[in-house]
Structure 1
């Protein structure tokens, strides 16, 4: 699915997205956004921020920017930020061509989105570009299960979801992160291996923690 179609899909889903995803975040992705927020530091860029569901979990002292392809999703994120009293710069843009400068962020976060970005390798390369050396990459997503029967069911499901929403269930982001040269410092696989959390560091760094 190309970028224009993807934008159209997320614009259409925006009004009902929070209601639809809330159940899955409670049951499948439990604690995932809290995990991301606890590791975010400094100047933070959230790629594919969507409706801003991660906003309540970021530390108060981070300088937060969010990018999303969908103006309708960003409108909801803007309202959520106002309700939370959270200062955040929200920018319409493509994860594969981020509208920000090189080496301008200390942390890049992407939650539940590389599964549907048309070219996830390009998006990860962009995340590396905009991170400072030593910066943190924090990812949360659903991935191909470690259990063959579940993985087979995921494969069948995505025969529909790839066509209708560009959403993949048998991708895995870790090999892309490694191929981009990041140093992976923390990985968690949960829920029969269908959920993965990744904390990686931009190369050429001096890590003091």
Structure 2
């Protein structure tokens, strides 16, 4: 007799829970935002609201603006007033056109004429003596357009310890000195009138620091004596727009190196040749007239001058199409003493050659 198959075991089936269909992303309901804060209620709030409402109701309407009638528009008085209103814009446009045309004409004449270098002396320092009182007003606009004031401020803020600034001029860097980080400050210039303006400016700006500032009228090419407390030289030497006005820029930089501590720094802000030859051509053609007017040659190759001086270059930055040079230099080791000895020997030989009578030894009197 065949066996019947066993019946399979039955398991209880769990009822399926109804599932909600997924909501598309573009139809999802945004989360409920927190309720906005209710405006403050109270008698003060209601009073302010009523005042604002009254002000808004009494505002002028366009329909209430008085308009002139056709007869008033055609009147001679109104027509004369309109003509006067129209004259001012035309006058401003004409003035701008006249100024632009004059500037372009002067630029064209200066570029096309051949410069006469015969009458220009090598030393142009008398220009600074003559323009000392009005020098700041003369260069304010050009330096503002070239953003030189911010660069002066940043350069001067780096000065620490015993500080020397050569070619100080009228003291355009004086407002930016941080006197708390300076032990002494020496301001040097060959122009007496320029140095007098700088002295007044320092007294107005840093009057409390006047006992530790020194003013020297001498050329930066001559040996510079450091102040008491700095036998090894200055910690920081600053010069802005000075290489353009000296006939011996390489010698000047070497003299600054001889005046600087071996661990010090020399900071320069100068103007000279550009990155672009077309701009260098313009600078070369206009340099004689600019030197005759302002006493400086703005077409010098600052990079070549620094290279010939032998100073160690720490940082170089150029602005305004490469015509503005920012230079941070460092003196060479053991060069300060050698340069100082060389300069002293040159001065002694020059003084002996200029003397018409040779000094005899004291024992020659007994012969």
Which of the two has greater helix per residue? 2
8 A Cα contact 1:66 1:89, kept in partner: yes
- 1:188 is matched with which residue? 317
Deviation at 1:164, TM superposition (A): 4.9
Q: Does 1:58 align with 2:58?
A: no
Q: Distance in 2 between matches of 1:137 and 1:100?
A: 16
- 2:162 is matched with which residue? 43
8 A Cα contact 1:143 1:173, kept in partner: yes
Q: What do the CA deviations read for 1:44-77 (whole angstroms, capped 9, x no partner)?
A: 1000101111011122221210110111001100
- 1:93 is matched with which residue? 218
Q: Distance in 2 between matches of 1:76 and 1:163?
A: 22
Deviation at 1:96, TM superposition (A): 1.2
- 1:139 is matched with which residue? 268
> TM-score normalised to the size of structure 1?
0.90
Deviation at 1:38, TM superposition (A): 2.3
Q: Does 1:122 align with 2:251?
A: yes
Q: What do the CA deviations read for 1:11-39 (whole angstroms, capped 9, x no partner)?
A: 10101101011112211124221121122
> TM-score normalised to the size of structure 2?
0.52
Deviation at 1:180, TM superposition (A): 2.5
Q: Does 1:110 align with 2:239?
A: yes
| Aligned CA distance change for structure 1 residues 40 and 121 (closer, same or farther; 3 Å) | same
8 A Cα contact 2:273 2:302, kept in partner: no
Which of the two has greater strand per residue? 1
Q: Does 1:178 align with 2:307?
A: yes
Deviation at 1:174, TM superposition (A): 2.8
Q: Distance in 2 between matches of 1:157 and 1:149?
A: 13
- 1:72 is matched with which residue? 193
User: RMSD value over aligned CA atoms?
Assistant: 1.8
- 1:26 is matched with which residue? 144
Of the three residues 162, 165, 185, the one matched with 2:291 is: 162
Secondary structure of 2:132's match?
helix
